[in-house]
Chains A and B, each alone.
Chain A
């Protein structure tokens, strides 16, 4: 039973991860690559410097030097920042950028699928083919939309508060949102539903960590497009994940 459930979740997660890799190539990845051309440049304070020349290698070199200066002033250690990409880090096992993305999507897909299956088991509400889409939608609400109210999906080069503060707020918001959605969706009592709404609202009343300086060299239009694209892509990911998990559960676990 344990092995079968875990396997079902694993398979559903891997399928959703492959799907996600394809979906990301449509819009999200091109926007990330576009934003990286601006990353590390000085925020567009001087209108005399046209941003359009960002592709010239000369201005890119300048950006690299500025990167170093910014990194020295930044509270974020170099390991988090983008310079790590070329110095200390590098993609695992010498894979291409695409393979790294595929691997990470598979791991994330399997992880989210196992979390969904685990919650469904502990709460004793099975994920089925019929209700899988709702499980997926709730997963998206808890992991993406609700945290995005405080910390919207950000492009490389966007200003942001201290990484650990954001990660902590993000995890806490997911836990609160998940618990709130459980009370709201799966509990019949009126009091539970009210408590659920309060739980969902709490992290936002507390407030997400925000950067002190919000200037950025990445154009705002790219950021807006990216936030919507990222949320839409993850919604598709979660709907596929919930439905596939429900299908596999119906098909192979009911015996």
Chain B
């Protein structure tokens, strides 16, 4: 079924890629949305409000 699109890829490759994507993605979202630094906060201020991140 839906899995056929990635069936050519080995299981470990798929999981590795997925976990790498989750770690990098989590890091980026944390940086843009949650990081507790005044400079990052001020740069991303309007974005944090727009995305509904909890902010100051």
A residues neighboring B (CB under 8 Å): 1-2, 5-6, 9, 20, 24, 28-29, 32, 76, 79-82, 84-85, 88-92, 95, 97, 100-101, 103-105, 107-108, 110-122, 124-126, 128, 143-144, 147-148, 151-156, 160, 163, 166-167, 170-171, 226, 230-231, 233-234, 254
Contact = CB atoms under 8 A, between A and B. Distances in A.
Given A79-B36, A125-B2, A170 B54 contact: yes
Contacts, number: 191
A110 B54 CA distance: 20
A153 B50 contact: yes
A120 B18 CA distance: 7
A160 B51 CA distance: 16
A125 B43 CA distance: 35
Of A5, A32, A97, A120, most buried by chain B (CB within 10 Å of CB) is A5
Interface residues of B, number: 48
B20 A167 contact: no
Contacts of A28: 46, 49-50
B28 A5 contact: no
Nearest to B20: A2
A254 B6 CA distance: 8
A111 B47 CA distance: 13
